[in-house]
Amino acid sequence: MKAALSTTPRGVKTLDELRSLLHTKIRKEAVGFSLLPSGIPKGAITSISGVGKTEFVLQLLSEQPDLKVAWIEDSFSIFPFGFVQRKIKLDRILFVDAGKDLFWATLEALRSQTFTVVVFYGETSDLSLLRRVQLETEKSNAMTLWLSPEPPALWPVSLQLQVQKRRNGLINSLEVQILKSKQ
């Protein structure tokens, strides 16, 4: 006896069509950025390391003035006046000094679905915490930017960037290297 397949919301009518969907790579929506032609993916964790990581994020925020941001650190080190110098309005940024509750604060910011960008600065090797952040990032369709001193070798990261400052005469510029991309 043959089992009839009903039409699914995507209009799939046969088992072969369903199988082909399982092997289709879905490209995440990305936010445009001059330093990264492919953009920064939404609904994914992007790891940013290197000497120019904060400058990189500040340039992204200055190019995208409509993004609402949660900036979360385990030990507050960012100087908000640097945002103002780059013409980034502080009324769209929530600064959080989370201490030992870094991942709890990050998860709550993502769950609120208030922020387009969640930046967290801290280190971890706990895959279960990072997996929870990844799942909440996907649900909220936010850009989660993980700033870390060294590039982490953990699988939940979709895009891994290393940013370095370069001095060209009197002008400072940023050099971005893509270490890993699952976009």
Determine the angle formed by the axes of helices 102-112 and 127-140, rounding to 10 degrees: 20
Q: Is residue 77 part of a domain?
A: yes
In the chain, the amino acid numbered 69 is: V
Q: Is residue 42 part of a domain?
A: no
CATH number at residue 71: 3.40.50.300
Buried b (16+ CB within 10 A) or exposed e, 154-174: bebbbbbbbbeeeeeeeeeeb
Q: What global pTM score does this model have? A: 0.81
* Residue range 63-101, pLDDT digits in tens: 999 999 999 999 888 888 889 999 999 999 999 999 999
Q: Is residue 23 part of a domain?
A: no
Among 91, 71, 67, which residue's Cα sits nearest to residue 79?
71
The boundaries of the domain holding residue 69 are: 52-181
**Band of the pLDDT at 11, cuts 50, 70, 90?**
low
Q: Is residue 91 part of a domain?
A: yes
Q: Is residue 26 part of a domain?
A: no
- The C-alpha atoms of residue 158 and residue 155 are separated, in whole angstroms, by 8
pLDDT score of 1: 47
